[in-house]
Amino acid sequence: MSDRRGYFTADEVRAAEAELFTRVPAGMPMRRAAYGLATVVADELRSETGGVVGRAVGLLVGSGDNGGDALWAGSMLARRGVAVTAVLLNPERAHREGLAALRAAGGRRVDRLGAVDLVIDGIVGISGRGPLRPAAAEMVAALDVPIVATDLPSGVDPDTGAIDGPAVRAAVTVAFGAYKPVHALATSHCGRIVLVPIGLRLPEPGLAQLDPAAIGAEWPVPRATDDKYTQGVTGVCAGSSTYPGAGVLSTGAAVAATSGMVRYAGDDTEVLENFPEVVASGTISETGRVQAWVFGPGAGTDAGARDRLAEVLATDLPVIVDADGLTLLAAEPELVRGRSAPTVLTPHAGEFARLTGAELGPDRVAAVRALADEWQVTVLLKGRATIIASPGEATLVNDAGGSWAATAGSGDVLSGILGALLAAGRAPGWSAAAAARVHALAANLAAYDDQPAAAPISASPLLHHIRPAIRVLRELAGV
């Protein structure tokens, strides 16, 4: 079993489809896709009433193969007793064989959808770009029933997940043959995602998400021969008398994540009050042996903070730079460029813009890759879909499954988790993606906290849910 899920661009999928068409009879891939789509729709209908006979499904059908998938699926549903009606948004270019199959099965073409239980979005596929056209946007806006998207939600860019106007927000998206970047970068519009294999032979993915169970299997835990030093000693230079909470959150996360020891360099007295197991010193030079450094949260941006950052970056140890440290690097990028030891930058969108001098733009993956390559560092761009790029490696993404971690101080917690993984000797890209997964899971656990309904959280509860989150992943791995 692979340790990751790959996401493939529209061009990669089209090339794989072209190769598939040389191996199978004409029309077979579309029939496979349509059968999978019809099965998912039938399951959705059954989940509400237990049956499909007598239910009503509407199709919004564009031109090309995506519309053909919807029409063929509609014909299969009609043969199961579902009342199927279809609106052809471009009648002259509607898929002829699919439309004929729908009519033969008893489906009807209409100008506007009437009362239906569910709608299949077959407006545009992976060749579509830009928002929904006005007529389609008007119809979608008028819907008040669940939408099942055919391959991807129409109006959402397949390669970037960008949304710059009206778009479908699906309850379920049925992906054909391969996951596309949209399925990781725009999950709020995709809903639940179901993959229907159609026989594609795909290349190695340039964008991937680590499997949660694989993270659990690889998460560092004490071995029989380990002691507090061999498990990884994390150094944290964060927080100050002005921003005391940042040091508490970063060091607390490192303590909870894996580290055999956490050493703290700074003047935040609350760190020891909260975590007496942390070994504190006033300066970096007095800290003693560490195996990775976390620098930046609440550290300040004055000359003293700049000198401390330079001192940490002058070591041959892995360093995570976050928050105030990123502001310092934006003004003096030469501090990190050309560094031979692993360096991980963890910006949010605003910090990213300061580092690069430009806004992110719609293609976040390309922007993160460009910064990683230019500075020769690992970049973790925070967000609901966190993107991690390292030079010469596949880009990783982590969909948080929600936005519960979007709260002040949350990033300080993430930096501590990441620091502990680097101190344990894990690779920067893997560490960043694994830390993002545990961080997101801890936020979700904190939001629910064993209750049936979620509630907003602050950063402090994240600390108490790091270990339960790690435990969940390790249980998935069976270890």
Q: What's the DSSP call for residue 26?
A: T
177 marked as part of a ligand binding site: no
For residues 314 and 299, the answer to whether their CB atoms sit within 8 Å is no
The answer on whether 266 is annotated among ligand-binding residues is: no
Hey, how many other C-beta atoms are within 10 angstroms of the C-beta on 134? 9
Residue 384 among known ligand-binding residues: yes
Which residues, in sequence order, are bridge partners of residue 321? 295, 345
Q: Do the annotations mark residue 246 as ligand-binding?
A: yes
State the Cα–Cα distance between residues 445 and 432, nearest whole angstrom.
20
Q: Is 419 helix (H, G, I), strand (E, B) or coil?
A: helix
Q: Is 383 annotated as a binding residue?
A: yes
**Is 444 annotated among the ligand-binding residues?**
no
Q: Where are the alpha helices (DSSP H) in 166-230?
A: 182-185, 187-190, 212-218
CA distances to 155, 323, 396 from 300, in Å: 42, 9, 30
* 67 in a known ligand binding site: yes
382 is in an annotated binding site: yes
Q: Which helix (H) or strand (E) covers residue 31, if one does?
A: helix 28-49
Residue where the block lists tokens 């609350």: 270
288 is in an annotated binding site: no
Q: Is 411 annotated as a binding residue?
A: yes
Q: Is 416 exposed, middle or buried (0-12, 13-18, 19+ CB in 10 A)?
A: buried
Q: Is residue 464 annotated as involved in ligand binding?
A: no
DSSP 195: E
Is 467 a known ligand-binding residue?
Answer: no
* 11 annotated to bind ligand: no
154 is in an annotated binding site: yes
Report d(CA 90, CA 85) in Å as an integer.
Answer: 15
43 a known binding residue?
no
> Is 256 assigned a ligand-binding role in the annotation?
no
Q: Per the annotation, does 348 bind a ligand? A: yes
240 annotated as belonging to a binding site for a ligand: no
Is 281 annotated as ligand-binding?
Answer: no
CA 417 to CA 439: how far, in whole Å?
A: 8
> Rounded distance, CA 348 to CA 379, Å?
10
The burial of 199, by beta-carbon neighbours within 10 Å (0-12 exposed, 13-18 middle, 19 or more buried), is given as: middle
List binding-site positions for K(+).
66, 121, 154
List binding-site positions.
65-69, 121, 125-131, 151, 154, 246, 298, 348, 382-386, 411-412
List binding-site positions for AMP.
382-386, 411
List binding-site positions for (6S)-NADPHX.
65-69, 125-131, 151, 246, 298, 348, 412
